Amino acid sequence: MPTPHAPPAAVRRALRKLGADIQDARRRRRLPMAVVAERAFTSRSTLQKIESGDVGVSIGIYASVLLALGLLEGLSEVADISNDRVGQALASADLPKRVHLKRPVGSSDDG
């Protein structure tokens, strides 16, 4: 089923690049489309769509193809905190200026 909206140009460009990179990886490994499609439990026509950067193919199928090529680990790093400079900056800005230790209930200042 097609998506109900047209994705932004940046999304289309990113998927076209990912598809081209997947195609290059497959060719470097000298694997025919039929073999990669079989290993990814998908059809050759779906693999063609992936290699062209089709936005209608689910991320799960993209991930299966990456796994079939031995490249899945890179996908798990995409939104990892170590790669999220904006998120790290926001988290750092939200740190408290001072830290106070909480006194245990029932303790007194007399010591």
11-37 tens-digit pLDDT: 999 999 999 999 999 999 999 999 999
Domain boundaries, the chain: 9-87
| pLDDT at res. 10 | 96
Q: List CB contacts of 4: < 8 A, sequence separation 6 or more.
A: none
pLDDT tens-digit map of 23-82: 999 999 999 999 999 999 999 999 999 999 999 999 999 999 999 999 999 888 888 888
Q: pLDDT: is 14 or 87 the higher one?
A: 14
CA distances 97 to 25, 37, 86, 106, Å, are 48, 54, 20, 27
CATH topology of domain 9-87: 434 Repressor (Amino-terminal Domain) (1.10.260)
Quote the pTM value.
Answer: 0.75
